[in-house]
Amino acid sequence: MTAFFVFCLVLIPRILPNAYWQSIFSITGVYVMLSLGLNIVAGFTGLLDLAYIAFFGIGGYTFAFLCSNHFGIHLPFLLALPVCALVAMISGFLLGLTSIRLKGDYLAIVTLAFAQIFKLLLLNLDAPVNITGGVNGIYAFDTAKIFSFKISSPENYSTWIWACALFVFVISFRLKDSRIGRGWNAIREDELAANAIGINVTRMKLFSFATGAMIAGFAGGVFASFQGSVFPNNFDFQQLVIVYCMVIIGGLGNIYGVVAGAIVLSVLPEALREYGGLRMMIYGAALVAIMALRPQGLFSGIPGFSKLMRRPDKDETGELRASTDLYYSLETDDGNRKTFTREDLPILNIQNLSLNFGGVKAIDDLDLTLHKNEILSIIGPNGAGKSTLFNVISGIYKGDKGSVTYRDHDISYFKPHEVVRLGIARTFQNLRLFNELSVLENVKISRFCRTKAFFFSILLNLKLNRKEEAETDKTVKQILNMFGKRLTGYRFDQKVKELSYANRRRVEIARAMATDPEILLLDEPSAGMNPQETIEMTDFIKELRDKFGYTILVIEHKLNLVKAVSDHVLVMDFGKKICEGSYETVSKNPDVIAAYLGKKGKK
């Protein structure tokens, strides 16, 4: 691919027949940049950003203001471009700050409104003071100079633009395979789950939005200097649609595909010039057709355009390739390993917790204490408020009354990602995995909250990033290895949606473990498992405490599991605690029998 870019930026401009094709080639470079930037926002993060083209315009007009006679400012070319990027990024950040919390289509409409306001301002801010030049735009820019080298010939412009495109391409790639890219993917797949494994969703969305705006702004500057002028029409809704078509035809999130999409859609319409009037119509129809027929883009599944999944492989002997590519295997039982038991040290305290849902008391004045290295089971009929309790502890719901304290922190008002960061991780009863991502990726995302590398460290692959990436890989594989063949080997690369129900439960537990929690909240870990698998899960939960020292709060219906693992059992019904104590005590309590198994009938 790099060779391809070098080819593009040096050779092609010099072999193209005439200035017309040279300018198309340069414009193609601008579109590659633009679509790669949009791909970060819409493809990686799944945000439908319809203000994207306005940031392109902000970049373009900033350049026009800074490098022309319009205001008489003549900033050096190489200084003006970063300023364009920065101004667009700040605008993106500010717009994002107000609207990023909105749900998908609301975000789309706010950003669309912003883009409209931007265009109206471009058109009308020529009076009473001429700021934007109105419909006539701004023209006659300074000559582009890199230090003392003038980029004036079309060939040199092409080379320069494609060098910029290469730069954006590298940024895209670095980001995609980093903690940030994984965080974005998680948000795209399932916002709530992303939040519940420690990703600050609002901040990461904002960052994505601003990064996209920055790239668009940069591309805007480059484009303005190339065209030598800027007009409102360069930045209108049609342009936005063209860029969206490029990204979608290429496949949202697929970097190679997006580059290919941008090239095809820049060159093809020129090749079919006679049909010029039909062009936008075809774009519209193509959008509809692709969404219905190939939502992954035209290039998905073609080798070289998308990372092909490692095959669910068999090795030469015909055996399923299992843990063969593991670098670390855990000693299973070496006898002198430390074992853990419940200590008399309360670490999680819930007091007088109440929560109402439209008049129904989901949790009613509940107290709970969890001790260090304890396994506490919560049982009770469906609808008793058990999962709601987990949702309160993990910060998804806020209690109406009462408090939740973890060690010295009052976490009653903590957000989900803050709770995870402190050391409480959870699984979901209905499974909220990132279904389109692989097993390995799912669990790697959990390391987000334990790593720090940010933009520059990732971009330049500094030591911090390298170290963290290696650690992430190691930790994740170690954790998956605890589940043996079920989640290792070829399964690393299998999409989660292809796993069996029981295996998906295991991935959820692995994902919770990979956030380095002290407390694990397991919501029905054995639901949907057959008796054999349930026995396995029972042993595993015990091991989680005995060998690895996790403190565990578990909701479970299968009482043999509860009996086998619990130090302490708490029974809930109608949001209330109706009884607690050892399994033996609880199981003899008549209220419990009535609540759980139902009273004996009257017959």
Token pair of 338 as six digits? 């430390």
Q: In the set 69, 78, 82, 104, which binds other proteins (CB under 8 A)?
A: 104
Contacts (CB under 8 A) with other proteins, residues 182-221: 192
**What is the residue-wise DSSP string for 359-405?**
TEEEEEEEEEEEETT-EEEEE--TTSSHHHHHHHHTTSS--SEEEEE
For residues 127 to 156, the per-residue mask of contacts with other proteins, x marking binding by CB under 8 A and - elsewhere, is: ------------------------------
Q: In the set 277, 303, 318, 335, which binds other proteins (CB under 8 A)?
A: 277
Q: Of 475 and 566, which CB lies nearer to other proteins in the complex structure?
A: 566
3-class DSSP state for residue 306? strand
Q: Of 124 and 152, which CB lies nearer to other proteins in the complex structure?
A: 124
Task: Confirm or reject binding of residue 592 to other proteins (CB under 8 A).
Answer: yes
Query: Is 424 buried (19+), middle (13-18) or exposed (0-12) by CB count in 10 A?
Result: buried
Task: Confirm or reject binding of residue 37 to other proteins (CB under 8 A).
Answer: no
Q: Of 317 and 382, which CB lies nearer to other proteins in the complex structure?
A: 382
Task: Confirm or reject binding of residue 345 to other proteins (CB under 8 A).
Answer: no
Q: In the set 487, 529, 569, 570, which binds other proteins (CB under 8 A)?
A: 529
Helix ranges (DSSP H) in 7-101:
12-15, 19-38, 52-66, 77-99
519-542 in b/e form (b: 16+ CB < 10 A) is bbbbbbbbbebeeebbebbbebbe
| Nearest distance in Å: CB 236, other proteins | 10
DSSP one-letter code for 303: B
| Nearest distance in Å: CB 524, other proteins | 6
| Nearest distance in Å: CB 539, other proteins | 15
Token pair of 598 as six digits? 């139902």
Helix ranges (DSSP H) in 251-322:
255-271, 279-293
Q: In the set 524, 541, 545, 551, which binds other proteins (CB under 8 A)?
A: 524
Non-local CB neighbours of 478 within 8 Å, separated by 6+ positions: 328, 330
Residues in the chain, overall count: 603
Q: Of 83 and 193, which CB lies nearer to other proteins in the complex structure?
A: 193
CA nearest to 430, candidates 347, 364, 524:
524
| Nearest distance in Å: CB 349, other proteins | 23
| Nearest distance in Å: CB 53, other proteins | 13
Q: In the set 3, 17, 288, 317, which binds other proteins (CB under 8 A)?
A: 288
Q: In the set 3, 15, 271, 292, which binds other proteins (CB under 8 A)?
A: 292
Tokens 């593009």 found at:
8
Q: Of 161 and 376, which CB lies nearer to other proteins in the complex structure?
A: 376
Q: In the set 120, 268, 345, 470, which binds other proteins (CB under 8 A)?
A: 120
Q: In the set 397, 454, 540, 548, which binds other proteins (CB under 8 A)?
A: 397
Contacts (CB under 8 A) with other proteins, residues 350-389: 357-360, 381-383, 387
3-class DSSP state for residue 602? coil
Instruction: Name the residue type at position 213.
Output: A
Q: Of 66 and 562, which CB lies nearer to other proteins in the complex structure?
A: 562
Contacts with other proteins: how many residues (CB under 8 A)? 86
Contacts (CB under 8 A) with other proteins, residues 450-469: none
In the beta sheet, which residues pair with residue 363? 355
Q: How many CB atoms lie within 10 A of CB 285?
A: 11
Q: In the set 267, 287, 326, 459, which binds other proteins (CB under 8 A)?
A: 287
Contact window for other proteins (CB under 8 A) among 163-171, 258-266, 542-550, 587-595: 587-595
Task: Confirm or reject binding of residue 501 to other proteins (CB under 8 A).
Answer: yes
Task: Confirm or reject binding of residue 235 to other proteins (CB under 8 A).
Answer: no
Q: In the set 143, 530, 582, 585, which binds other proteins (CB under 8 A)?
A: 530
**What is the residue-wise DSSP string for 137-162?**
-EE-BPPPEETTEE--SHHHHHHHHH
Contact window for other proteins (CB under 8 A) among 74-82, 135-143, 210-218, 525-533: 525-533
Contacts (CB under 8 A) with other proteins, residues 550-569: 557-563
Q: Are 70 and 88 in contact (CB under 8 A)?
A: no
The H or E element that residue 74 is part of is strand 73-74
Q: In the set 6, 102, 268, 345, which binds other proteins (CB under 8 A)?
A: 102
DSSP one-letter code for 43: I
Distance CA 222, CA 245 (A): 21
